[in-house]
Amino acid sequence: MTLDDEDRAYLLQRGYTPELVELDKWFSFPVGHYKMPGLRFEVTEPQLATLCRYHTGTVTAVQLVNRHRKAYRKFPTLYANYLPILYMNYQDYERLAETRRIILTEGLFDRAAIIRCKPPAACGCILGLSVSDKLVRFLQHFSDRVFLAFDSDAPGKEGIQYVAKVLTEAGVVSFSLSGWCKDPAQWYEKAGEKKMAADLRDQIEGRL
Flag whether pLDDT at 74 surpasses 50. no
Q: How many CA atoms lie within 13 A of 165 on its CB side?
A: 8
What does the alpha-carbon distance between residue 43 and residue 45 come to, in Å, rounded to a whole number? 6
Residue 98 and residue 74 share a domain: no
Mean pLDDT of 62-72: 66
Boundary of a domain, candidates 67, 83, 99: 83
What does the alpha-carbon distance between residue 185 and residue 151 come to, in Å, rounded to a whole number? 9
Residue 165 and residue 91 share a domain: yes
Q: What is the pLDDT of residues 26-35, one digit of tens each?
A: 888 888 888 7
What does the alpha-carbon distance between residue 66 and residue 49 come to, in Å, rounded to a whole number? 9
What does the alpha-carbon distance between residue 104 and residue 67 come to, in Å, rounded to a whole number? 24
Query: Residue 75's pLDDT is what?
Result: 36
Cβ count within 10 A of residue 164: 17
CATH number for the domain that contains residue 156:
3.40.1360.10
Residue 74 and residue 99 share a domain: no
Residue 104 and residue 153 share a domain: yes
Residue 134 and residue 74 share a domain: no
Task: Give the type of residue at 72.
Answer: Y
pTM equals: 0.84
Boundary of a domain, candidates 39, 60, 83: 83
Query: Residue 118's pLDDT is what?
Result: 93
Between 25-39, 44-58, 104-118, 180-194, the lowest mean confidence (pLDDT) is in 44-58
Q: Residue 65: give the domain boundaries.
A: 5-83
Query: Residue 207's pLDDT is what?
Result: 81
Mean pLDDT of 134-152: 90
Q: What is the pLDDT of residues 178-208, one digit of tens each?
A: 765 678 888 888 889 999 999 999 999 988 6
Query: Residue 84's pLDDT is what?
Result: 55
Q: What percent of the chain has pLDDT over 70?
A: 82
The count of domains in the chain is 2
Residue 99 and residue 47 share a domain: no
Residue 181 and residue 95 share a domain: yes
